[in-house]
Every structure is written in structure tokens, then in C-alpha cells.
Amino acid sequence: MRRFNLAVLAALTLSAGAIAAPAQAHGGHRPLGIENCTATTCHFDVAPGTYDVRVLLGGDAQSSTSVSGETRRSLLPETPVAAGERVARSFTVNVRTPEGEPTGPAGTPGLDLVLGGSAPELADIRVTPARHARQIFLVGDSTVCDQPGDPYSGWGQQLPRYLRKGVSVANYADSGESTVTYLGNPQLWATVQPQIRRGDLVLIQLAHNDKTTDEATYRANLESLVAGVREKGGSPVLVTPIVRRWFNSDGTLNNGTALLVNGLGVNHPEVVRSVAAAHDVPLIDLTAKTKAVVESLGVEGSKALYLYNEKRDNTHTSAHGATVYAELVRDELVAQHLVPKGLMRVG
């Protein structure tokens, strides 16, 4: 992995008229820049909030750079740049404590960014407080959350890579949560709801851990979440759960375990669809979409989407699988005009 030369970069930054001395995060008047970077990491001493990040990628040689941040969030997909050229990219990032799962460790204060890719080159960077940014809140379980350790990844962890400046993901999904526990834990719904503002989206995918939740309770909990979002002026979006990778002998997915029918006979995707229709809530049918992907790949090909090879895990996704599923969510956000197309990356 390549390292950029901070002395050269500082000179370039000065020649461009930028401020050389580190700006204090709490001042809020000057952008934070390249002086906060060392090797392939950057740390910005900022308070919790939402920030715009502008990166200038490229160097003397051909390069290819990606950016991740906080708890392994994918913020910018790998971007190739020809030798001697510079390419600017911008995104908006949510900084919070805890920085990953709401019931997990606090993490490192401030904003941490990591350069990746086959040949990373960073020419400049600027971090400024975001103005009028729209938030996409995620309410979900371990298949959605910012997973703390490799090889796990939730689709919500990969969704930010598809967003441009002006909209950020606040991922409040948490491992092991059901609709019952999400509503009942003060670190979860009681923390998320007060932050919702008019125009924000709240994507809700809870089902995997509602194994003992009866249908009436499951339905009522979804309705409570929908009402709570609307009470704050936000826009709820119900998301049916991703499938589990359990095949029948004929190559189709099992109608029970794979398609999220619990031991009480509650068909979670069907209940989600019903609540969405009854309350005029946008629906992302991720069950149907992930089912189509998994069945098209077959028993062997679909293993790479999940952690079967690493953990014999047919529920949790790999970074590859999470990225594929995040792309499905992105496509639906655009198709249903929930996020303007101009704020989404196509790759």
C-alpha cells in the first residue's frame, strides 16, 4: 500500500491557498485538512454530528483509492485515477458515540478515515460541518449493522458508499435485536426517535430475531415504529428481511427458515408487506430481491454472499454479500424516488 508524502502535500495545500495550521474542531470556522493525516489514516477531532468530506485523489503514478471510516463503514468505492491526474469526490458522514452498534463500545472520539484500494493516493482532504444534510436512519439487526470485525458486514455498513454529499447514513442497527427489544432498549429506539427531522428517511428491517414474537405483537411493533417516525416528521420505509441461505433439494430456498417464517408460523415478510400496504408506507422487498439473487447463484455460487466458507454461517453476509444487498437497497431508493438520483452513486 502506497504512502503519501505529507511534506509535499503540505506544500501543495499551501500553494492552493489552504490553511496550514490545524483548525480546532470546536471553532467551526476553518476546514480540517491534510495535516490531520498520517500514512493511510486520517483523524479529525470533531464533535458528534454530520460532516461533509471532500477528497482529492491521485498522484504522480496511477492510483486506485477507496475510503472507509469509523467502524468499518464503506464511504467511497475504489476510484482509479490516471498518473498525474486528480479526481475530486465528496461524501457526507455521520459521527456519533458509540460509532458503531448502539449497544457496542464507544469507539474512538472524532472522525477516523482509512484509505484503501490497490494503490491509494490522497492529494488533499477537507472536512467541514454539513449544512442541511439529509439523514437515512437504519433500524435493524446484525444483517444491517456496522459489524465491528472482519469478515462480517451488514448491508447498512456498505450503503454509504452509494451516497454523495448531502445525505448520510446513521446506522442504528444492532446485533440480536427483535422488534420487541429494539423498542424496549433505551439505547435504541428511544435514542433514535428524538434525532429524526422532517425529510429524514428511516429504513426499518427487523425480523431475524423475532423468533418467538407472535403475529399480533410483531405487527403492532412495526406500526409503533412507523407512527414514531411520522410523529417526528420523518418518512418511514419498511424493509423485508434478507433471506437466509437454506436450500431445498430442488435449488429453491426453504419456505420456512430461509424466508423468515418463525416457529409460531409468523411469516415476517408477509406481515411487513401487509403493514406497509395498510399504512401507505414505502416498501423495499429485500426478501424477494435477495431470494432472486441467491437462487440465481445457486448452492455453490451463493456461498460467497454469506459467511458459509469462513463460519458455516448462512445468515450473516460477507463484505461482498453486504455490498450486493446494499446495491439492491440503493436501486429501490432511486426507483421509488425516496432519494434523488443525483445524490446516489451508480457504482
Taking the model in full, what pTM does it have?
A: 0.90
Q: Is residue 276 part of a domain?
A: yes
Q: Is residue 102 part of a domain?
A: yes
Q: Is residue 306 part of a domain?
A: yes
Claim to verify: residue 109 and residue 144 sit in the same structural domain: no
Claim to verify: residue 165 and residue 61 sit in the same structural domain: no
Residue 267: phi, psi to the nearest 5? -90, 95
Q: Is residue 88 part of a domain?
A: yes
Claim to verify: residue 204 and residue 115 sit in the same structural domain: no
pLDDT at 28 over 50: no
Q: Is residue 1 part of a domain?
A: no
Q: Measured between alpha carbons, how far is 78 from 67 in angstroms, rounded to an integer?
A: 8
Q: Measured between alpha carbons, how far is 93 from 75 in angstroms, rounded to an integer?
A: 8
- Out of 128, 159, 175, a domain closes at 128
Those residues with Cβ within 8 angstroms of residue 134's Cβ, 6 or more apart along the chain or in another chain: 166, 167, 168, 199, 200, 201, 339, 343
Claim to verify: residue 110 and residue 208 sit in the same structural domain: no
Claim to verify: residue 153 and residue 123 sit in the same structural domain: no
pLDDT digits (tens, 9 = 90+) for 220-253: 999 999 999 999 999 999 999 999 999 999 999 9
Claim to verify: residue 175 and residue 268 sit in the same structural domain: yes
Claim to verify: residue 193 and residue 322 sit in the same structural domain: yes
Q: Is residue 43 part of a domain?
A: yes
CATH number reported for the structural domain that contains residue 174 in this entry: 3.40.50.1110
- Number of structural domains in the chain: 2
Claim to verify: residue 88 and residue 141 sit in the same structural domain: no
Q: In the chain, what percentage of residues exceed pLDDT 70?
A: 91
Mean per-residue pLDDT over the chain, rounded: 91
Q: 114 is in which domain, residue-wise?
A: 6-128
- Out of 128, 159, 188, a domain closes at 128
Q: Is residue 303 part of a domain?
A: yes
Claim to verify: residue 79 and residue 153 sit in the same structural domain: no
CATH number reported for the structural domain that contains residue 13 in this entry: 2.60.120.260
Residue 194: phi, psi to the nearest 5? -65, -20
Claim to verify: residue 100 and residue 216 sit in the same structural domain: no
Confidence of residue 14 (pLDDT cuts 50, 70, 90): very low
Claim to verify: residue 143 and residue 68 sit in the same structural domain: no
pLDDT digits (tens, 9 = 90+) for 304-330: 999 999 999 999 999 999 999 999 999
Confidence of residue 30 (pLDDT cuts 50, 70, 90): low
Q: Measured between alpha carbons, how far is 51 from 92 in angstroms, rounded to an integer?
A: 6
All three cell numbers of 138: 437504519
pLDDT value for 132 = 86
Q: Is residue 177 part of a domain?
A: yes
- Out of 128, 143, 166, a domain closes at 128
Confidence of residue 23 (pLDDT cuts 50, 70, 90): very low
Nearest-CA neighbor of 2 among 56, 59, 42?
59
The length of the chain is: 347
Q: In the chain, what percentage of residues exceed pLDDT 90?
A: 90
Q: Measured between alpha carbons, how far is 185 from 177 in angstroms, rounded to an integer?
A: 9
Beta bridge partners of 41: 38, 114
pLDDT at 21 over 80: no
Claim to verify: residue 124 and residue 157 sit in the same structural domain: no
